[in-house]
Chain A
């Protein structure tokens, strides 16, 4: 084997090693920014006729849920912003707000998880906490991270043991409130309604 061949063979081997190294070291999957990490999940009750329930009431505070889904009365910095944005979206979808919850067709309740929590089952004991608020059942089992904003739409006429009409979860958004949280909250609440066009007169 002459010198040229030895050099050529060495170069080819080195190139091969470099290609394999590039393949392994450049395996994709960059870290996500806080905005990119936001997940908005919405579920609805397929039996619901949304077009017949056009008046709503929203509690003037947001409850925190413990690990069992029980309410904790602890106000937060962004509660009023969240409530206001929910109302704004409902209004845009053609709903009318009722000042007296007893006259509303639907109740839209916002809550925030304080730990990882899996939805599912019925929650009726909130009756004592906010009148008239007998509770509802979650139509789907889904695990939400700490700091998840939940928006639940329940039929006021048919509560306690029936499925909620609509549940939206913005996963973990209030866990880290440092970076652009105000904009992210608004955008993600809007997205929850935008991806649920069956609400209001849509279905």
Chain B
């Protein structure tokens, strides 16, 4: 099953869930705002090896059953690394170039999601979830006066697990881990890469 199909099915499930609610169940909306730290993995670690401390995310989750929400997840994660190295040029006129390289990656995940919560209402609630959709990737590679960029949309998924700690009526603190994985991609240098990173996110939940 391709990620597009997963995304469509998840979206359909979310829409279906919203319009076929149990009449006896009080629907609630949870707005989640998180500060995100991201650890690059795999190809992303090769491209920008530094841990990202620049990240923010918003989730809009609608309860569709007692322990299940569906919703939308948006994020922004900034990766950056400055390295000085020699890169080989493999063109018709081969050679090498040495210089300080600035490598940027701005990942904007946009995903539909579903989450299942354990525990009792008003108690500490561990949960698991799946996000499916894609990433808008803005990548820039700069060396001296040369700047290369590659902006693209890549489909991907992000399995997630976390814990919600209630604070007061209508508020909670949330901590979660999210494994972000894009199924395709290309670096500004023209090489095929698949970005992935582990997000460690902490934030607040507003309940309406």
Cβ B104 vs Cβ A44 within 8 A: no
Mark interface residues in B124-157 (1 if CB within 8 Å of A CB, else 0): 0000000000000000000111000000000000
* Closest residue of A by beta carbon distance from B206: A12
* With A19-B35, A23-B76, A171-B144 as contacts: A40 and B56 at CB distance below 8 Å: no
Return A154 CB to nearest CB of chain B, in Å: 16
Cβ A195 vs Cβ B98 within 8 A: yes
B169 / chain A contacts, CB cutoff of 8 Å: 5
Q: CA A111 – CA B96 in complex, angstroms?
A: 20
Mark interface residues in A131-168 (1 if CB within 8 Å of B CB, else 0): 00000000110010100000000000000000000000
* Closest residue of A by beta carbon distance from B33: A16
Cβ B98 vs Cβ A40 within 8 A: yes
B54 / chain A contacts, CB cutoff of 8 Å: 22-23, 26-28
Contact among A12, A27, A43, A139 for B78, CB-based, below 8 A: A27
Mark interface residues in A36-53 (1 if CB within 8 Å of B CB, else 0): 111111111010000000
Within B64-93, the residues touching A (CB, 8 Å) are 76, 78, 80, 82, 84, 86, 89, 93
A-B contact count (CB 8 A): 80
* With A16-B33, A37-B144, A195-B98 as contacts: A29 and B93 at CB distance below 8 Å: no
Q: CA A140 – CA B9 in complex, angstroms?
A: 51
B100 / chain A contacts, CB cutoff of 8 Å: 32, 36-37
B56 / chain A contacts, CB cutoff of 8 Å: 19-20, 23
Contact among A32, A43, A195 for B93, CB-based, below 8 A: A43
Cβ B33 vs Cβ A39 within 8 A: no
Q: CA A145 – CA B146 in complex, angstroms?
A: 11
* Closest residue of A by beta carbon distance from B204: A12
Secondary structure type dominating chain A contacts: mixed
Is B95 at the interface (CB under 8 A from chain A)? yes
Is B123 at the interface (CB under 8 A from chain A)? no
Cβ B98 vs Cβ A191 within 8 A: yes
Contact among B95, B167, B204 for A42, CB-based, below 8 A: B95
Cβ B97 vs Cβ A41 within 8 A: yes
* With A8-B171, A23-B56 as contacts: A29 and B95 at CB distance below 8 Å: no
Is A130 at the interface (CB under 8 A from chain B)? no
Cβ B78 vs Cβ A40 within 8 A: no
A15 / chain B contacts, CB cutoff of 8 Å: 204
Q: CA A62 – CA B125 in complex, angstroms?
A: 74
B95 / chain A contacts, CB cutoff of 8 Å: 41-44, 140, 196
B96 / chain A contacts, CB cutoff of 8 Å: 41-42, 195-196
Cβ A4 vs Cβ B168 within 8 A: yes
Within A52-68, the residues touching B (CB, 8 Å) are none
Sample 9 A-B pairs with CB under 8 A, ordered by A number: A5-B169, A8-B168, A19-B35, A19-B56, A28-B102, A37-B100, A140-B93, A171-B99, A195-B98
Nearest first, the 6 closest Cβ-Cβ pairs linking A and B are A43-B95, A39-B99, A28-B80, A140-B93, A39-B144, A195-B96
